[in-house]
Structure 1
């Protein structure tokens, strides 16, 4: 396709609508409803979410991570603490998440503060992972420059040999984070680009205010 023709790519969004009266007063319950509908619809990678972080001077970066749990406290994911995102979170804990369930024509945007979860929770999750994933966490110096893929495969094989028939310990540099939300927006695609946007803003530790935004 000619790059000049990209501007002509268009889709109409016609599958559903979203009104204030149809949304729960609690955004976490509303997220749970939409998440379960994404599971029922067999959306590809329903737990995939864009995690955006920034350096202390505001330079942003974003990548896809996987949601591993959520409740009234926030949204949990796991990663290497020494990765780029880990280093950015350590200096600037403000971050955002974005879910895009394309077949349902829906987005959920979440903003808040990120912090580490407990070591005990991270340990429990680490040991629930497939053994190969545990070894991969040990083998990969995430976000660091490496000479070639063979370095990774060699480190993986070394770890596999070292922990043969043994429990694999969770590395100290690997674990979970929770994003504690202050803002959650639900977006439903509509025709003529008049999309529905319902925003929840936390106004104290327990209360959420719900408003509609123009598309």
Structure 2
């Protein structure tokens, strides 16, 4: 009896070890409207129907940021994607019936009320390239979005507040003609 129990335990242990090493490649969600949403090997299925196919499966399936966010009757699917060597990105989909439409591509971040206005926000800033000069630095432009009344829109107030905190100035057009961040003078410490 003990020999059988030991063999069974060893067998189960090797099963669990094999499962622990298996790479995750699927996600499952259920909306408040009883929509069954599955993400499997780069394809989004809604209620069993193919709703979106990624050209490249770069979804970070293990991310805790992958989630459904519901606002009123709107259902948004947040998927974190690998964007190496840059910061990971969110692809946000509006799930409507059996359709999945991309609505936003943003820096992946926590989805929370960042500015205390009662609405959920997400986004952030990419790391700028290194500038070797001592008198200037690259402007660090952020971009935040807000979920409000069943829609996702650009949050200009939070973006400006964040940029002012980081850069000490706000530029509404932070990139030059080549798409590079603009240089801003570094503030010299007062003597």
Instruction: Please state which band the TM-score falls in when normalised by the shorter chain.
Output: under 0.3
Length-normalised TM-score, structure 1: 0.24
Bigger radius of gyration among the two: 2
Structure of higher RCO (CA pairs closer than 8 Å, 6+ residues apart) = 1
Q: Could you say which structure has the higher strand fraction?
A: 2
